[in-house]
A and B are shown apart, each in its own frame.
Chain A
Amino acid sequence: MVNDRVLALARDFRHHDEGLDVAFEVYRELREGCPVGFSEHYGGFWFVTRFDDIHRIEQDSETFAVSPGMLLPPLGNERPGIPIDVDPPMHGTYRRAMLPAFSPQQIDRLEPMVRRAAVELLDAFDGERAVDVAARYAVPFPMVVFCELAGLPTDESEKLEDWINRIFYVRTHDYDSTLRAAAELTTYITSILEARKGEEARDDLFGRLLTAEIEGRPLTDEELADYGFILVVAGLDTTAWVLRSSLWYLAQHPEDRAKLHERPGLVVTAVEEFLRCLSSVQGMARTVTRDVELGGHRLRAGDRVLLVFGAGNRDEAKFPDADRIVIDRQPNPHVAFGAGIHRCMGSNLARRELRVALEEFLIRYPDFSLTPGSDPAWYGIDPLPLVLEGRGRM
């Protein structure tokens, strides 16, 4: 039986804001006592916390659709984002149009640019001992990479940062601000794409969007804007968060820093482990298309269901010693990027960005720690003040 305590945790469950302070303890209690439950936040939603249930639902896109949107609460965009808020058959058509931009081969070609972005940001605080690595490394790094990749002017990144901030972090308590930010971002993307239409085709993300063909025709202006919107919001703070949380963890674990220093090749598995345990996307939502039984509950058509990736990724049934970060853990089939047809399109890029950014950071700073007296949260993109002990530029 579900006891009152667990039931109260379920009713109050949320994967944003203060919910994240206690997320890992709550995940454990819910996985055991109430693996599928109902929360009263965000208009009311079911949540699923066990790995196998999450995985199964991800494979059943007919019963568990994404329309009207995958994000809970939504991101304030007026129309469904492409491709993430779109169901089959159009979903696959849209997705195929941009997938080649994120293939492993393409990411290999981008690596020198990604590394240069990391090195330049590190050079900018070389020699300083007390540094907020969130503001000066984790947040600007994916921004620089994305602007290069998309062909966006980098001198406007402050505007982008403000919109993204209001779209992601303000939506739980001031949705009007989120709506305005989403509208402004859409207008901005539209203006960039409009200006580019008259120019010669360039080989960047927006160039690909402009020349993409679906069903034998180019994308309409609305499709361009809705695809561009998702490309911009999906790849910035998600990666920034994980880079920051990776450094947050490493600052407190000298034994793992030493291990990575000794065997830099382990950064690859460490990145997977940070994604598994400290990821930015703690959950994504679906909508039930027909009445269905789930974990002893009767879900009705139209109900919203949150797949709590963060909880599934710490499920003991799938990952031994699941709450412990083991930087050389293998295998590590986590669902930080989701699974099934809606699996993150940018996962190859995110992984490469994280690996390169950590490699370059660790080369310069084999030793670093949290600034004494600071107690930064594991999540988000707020300041992460560190004391850097390394030797700086080599």
Chain B
Amino acid sequence: MVACPEVFEADEYGYALVKVHEVGPELEGKVRLAEADCPENAITVEERM
């Protein structure tokens, strides 16, 4: 399942890469879901103040 293709893509080995490091509020829900969904706990979403 590719969660949030606007932000993540896979390299030729299937490892996830981050295309966009900062997202607006319109994608917050999707990146938060990706963070919670990642079985490797590899995604961390931080809020910029």
Contacts and interface: CB of A to CB of B under 8 A. Distances in A.
Interface of A: 55, 96, 99-100, 102-105, 268, 272, 330-335, 337, 339-340, 343, 348, 351
A330 B33 contact: yes
Nearest to B2: A104
B10 A104 contact: yes
Nearest to A351: B1
Contacts of B23: none
Nearest to A333: B39
Contacts of B14: 99-100, 102-104, 348
Contacts of A96: 13
Nearest to B36: A331
B18 interface: no
Instruction: Bin the interface of chain B by size.
Output: 10 to 19
A104 B38 CA distance: 16
B31 to A, nearest CB: 12
A335 B14 CA distance: 17
Nearest to A336: B39
Given A55-B41, A334-B39, 9 more contacts: A102-B14, A104-B14, A105-B10, A330-B33, A331-B33, A332-B37, A333-B36, A335-B39, A343-B39
B33 A103 contact: no
B47 interface: no
Task: State the majority secondary structure of interface residues on B.
Answer: loop
Contacts, number: 42
Contacts of B11: 103
Contacts of A332: 37
B40 to A, nearest CB: 6
A330 B13 contact: no
Contact of B1 (A100, A268, A339, A343): A268
A211 B33 CA distance: 39
Given A333-B36, A333-B39, A339-B40, A100 B12 contact: yes
B12 A272 contact: no
A57 B40 CA distance: 12
Contacts of A333: 36-39, 41
B39 A337 contact: yes
A330 B13 CA distance: 26
B36 to A, nearest CB: 4
B9 to A, nearest CB: 9
Nearest to A271: B1
Interface in B7-42: 10-14, 33, 36-41
B37 A339 contact: no
A331 B37 contact: yes
A343 B41 CA distance: 13
A103 B37 CA distance: 19
Nearest to B1: A268
A90 B47 CA distance: 39
Top 3 A-B residue pairs of the complex, sorted by shortest distance between their CB atoms: A331-B36, A331-B37, A103-B14
Given A330-B33, A331-B33, A351-B1, A103 B10 contact: yes
Contacts of A334: 39
Nearest to B32: A331
A340 B40 contact: yes
Contacts of B2: 104
Contacts of B38: 333
A319 to B, nearest CB: 11
A272 B40 contact: no
Contacts of A337: 39
Nearest to A98: B13
A272 B38 CA distance: 12
Given A268-B1, A272-B1, A351-B1, A105 B12 contact: yes
Nearest to A100: B12
